[in-house]
Amino acid sequence: MDGGFVTQRDVCVECGDCIEVCNSEAREMAGKEVTVEEVIREIEKDTVFYNQSGGGASFSGGEPLLQHEFLTEVLKECKEKNIHTVVDTTGLTSPQMLESISAFVDLFLFDLKTLDDAKHIEFTGVSNKQILENLRHLADSGKEVIVRIPVIPGFNDDPVQIRATGSFVSSLGNVREIHLLPYHVSGLEKYRRLGMKNEMHATHPPSADDLSVIVKELRKHVSSVCIGG
């Protein structure tokens, strides 16, 4: 109320009391604990809209498979209620885990950052080996999969990589669609609010022209390529 507030992150125990007492909503808690029933109740509120649009529930993150048990229960419940389900995943998980939810998932949105393993390790800290295997396994099993590529200038947007990616995706069993997610800067405000440093300040969103070159190349391999999604 007095024009600002101070955050001492080192003493914060995430009790949330500060949110309750502040009527002007200066603070919000990102995320909350919920039960399976609560999630299902929230999803079911919009049934009338799914009936019209063919929509349903999408599980995203972070990485939803990090909460594998909970996710499985919610997915099962959705399928019992005949609600369409989508899981948006990085693919960094065990084949068993993926296999165990697969029966309850109508569509996977599968992230593919780069085929270059060295680069993958450099930028994400992990190898893409398991990820690519998972993707191939999932696609070959006949599951519907859309591959989503974050287009990050200087990281994965050079013609060689794009061509390799296109050719890889076209070799997969059941993938007919690629979504490009162009790098954007709308998270800057969040960095500021969380007191974090923006390490991407030298990177700028790709231009429309750059994107159309990428789309053109990918369409040689996969029939449906769209920006956003």
Partner 1 sequence: MTERVKKLREQSVTAIPYLSAERALLMTEFYREGAFLSPPIRRAMAFKRIMENKEICINDGELIVGERGPAPKATSTFPELCCHTQEDLEILNSREKVWFRVSEETKKEFEEKVIPFWKGKTIREKIFEEMTEKWKEAYSAGIFTEFMEQRAPGHTVLDDKIYRKGMLGFKKDVDEALRLLDFIDDPEAHSKSEELKAMSIAIDAILILASRYADKAKALADLEHDPNRKSELLRVESVCRRVPANAPTNLWEALQYYWFVHLGVITELNPWDAFNPGRLDQHLYPFYKAGIEDGSLDRVKAEELLQCFWVKFNNQPAPPKVGVTAAESGTYTDFANINTGGLKPDGTDGVNELTHLILDVINEMRLVQPSSNIQLSRKNPDEFLKHACRVVREGRGQPSIFNADTIVEELLRQGKTVEDARNGGTSGCVETGAFGKESYILTGYFNLPKVLEITLHDGVDPRTGKKIGLESGDPSMFRSFEDLQKAFQIQLKYFIEIKLRGNNVIERLYAEHMPVPFLSILIDDCIKNGKDYNNGGARYNTNYIQGVGIGTITDSLTAIRHHVFSNKTMAMKDLLKMLSANFEGLEKQRLLFVNKTPKYGNDNDEADDIMRWVFDEFYSVVNGRTNTKGGVYRINMLPTTCHVYFGSVTGASADGRKAWMPLSEGISPVQGADRKGPTAVLKSAGKMDHVRTGGTLLNQKFTPQLLEGEKGIENLSHLVRSYFTMGGHHIQFNVVNAETLRAAQVNPEQHRDLIVRVAGYSDYFCDLSVALQDEIIARTEHQGF
Nearer Cβ to partner 1, position 59 or 104? Answer: 59
Nearer Cβ to partner 1, position 153 or 205? Answer: 205
Three-state SS string across the chain, please? CCCCCCCCCCCCCCCCHHHHHCCCCCCCCCCCCCCHHHHHHHHHCCHHHHHHHCCEEEECCCCHHHHHHHHHHHHHHHHHCCCEEEEEECCCCCHHHHHHHHCCCCEEEEECCCCCHHHHHHHHCCCCHHHHHHHHHHHHCCCCEEEEEEECCCCCCCHHHHHHHHHHHHCCCCEEEEEEEECCCCCHHHHHHCCCCCCCCCCCCCCHHHHHHHHHHHHCCCCEEEECC
- Contact residues toward partner 1 (CB under 8 A) are 1, 23-25, 45-46, 48-49, 51-53, 55, 181-182, 184-186, 188-189, 192, 205, 227-229
CB of 84 to partner 1, least distance (A): 14
Nearer Cβ to partner 1, position 24 or 82? Answer: 24
CB of 147 to partner 1, least distance (A): 15
CB of 198 to partner 1, least distance (A): 12
CB of 188 to partner 1, least distance (A): 6
Say whether 75 sits in a helix, a strand or coil.
helix
Nearer Cβ to partner 1, position 192 or 219? Answer: 192
CB of 218 to partner 1, least distance (A): 16
Nearer Cβ to partner 1, position 189 or 209? Answer: 189
